[in-house]
Amino acid sequence: MTDTSVTTTARTCGECTLCCKLMGVPELKKPAARLCGSCDVGKGCTVYEERPPSCRNFQCFWLMDENFPEEFRPDRIHALAAFNDTPDSCVLHVDPAYPKAMRSPEVRALTDALLKAYAKVFVLSGKESALLTR
């Protein structure tokens, strides 16, 4: 299995494969909140070297920023934060299989931290969505 990290930081995805579930992959017509058929849960992408550009280019905030606390690793809190196309905003993807994740102390702390850095946080969880603002 190939290391799934695409960043220059010392962090790697490790056992985390949450983006393989939560993120949509247009090239594969994979909808958001559905596990990718190429994902080996807890191990990584089985077609890593041939993965599509949207997967190749994706990095969650935890992977990108070594200052993100270890306890915010996406597979541990059932949520991941990522960049968004809307200026001064980001997206928090929450695993719909864990409906109580939004109320966890870790996700609340992450949401508070995101709102200090961004004016808007779009929250997506399956078919549900919300907009949080400062």
Q: Per-block average pLDDT, block size 10, for the chain (134 residues)? A: 52 94 96 96 94 95 93 96 95 95 95 96 94 96
What is the rounded CA–CA span in Å between residue 22 and residue 34?
Answer: 6
Buried b (16+ CB within 10 A) or exposed e, 80-96: bbbeeeeeebbbbbbbb
Residue type, 10: A
Let me know if residue 8 belongs to a domain.
no
Report pLDDT for 91. Answer: 97
Report pLDDT for 8. Answer: 54
Let me know if residue 10 belongs to a domain.
no
Tokens of 64: 């990108």
pTM higher than 0.75, yes or no? yes
Tokens of 7: 């960043």
Report pLDDT for 99. Answer: 87
Let me know if residue 46 belongs to a domain.
yes
What is the rounded CA–CA span in Å between residue 4 and residue 106?
Answer: 24
Let me know if residue 63 belongs to a domain.
yes
Report pLDDT for 6. Answer: 47
Return the bridge partners of 79, or none: 94
Q: How many domains does one find in the chain?
A: 1
User: Which strands form 79-83's sheet, in the order they lie side by side?
Assistant: 79-83, 89-94, 120-125, 128-133
Let me know if residue 6 belongs to a domain.
no
Report pLDDT for 18. Answer: 97
Let me know if residue 12 belongs to a domain.
no
Let me know if residue 61 belongs to a domain.
yes
Please, what's the largest Cα pairwise distance for the chain? 42
Let me know if residue 79 belongs to a domain.
yes
What is the rounded CA–CA span in Å between residue 25 and residue 35?
Answer: 10
Residue among 93, 86, 97 at smallest CA distance from 119 = 86
For 4, which DSSP code? -
Q: Residue 83 belongs to what domain range? A: 18-133
Phi/psi for 52 (5° steps) reads: -70, 160
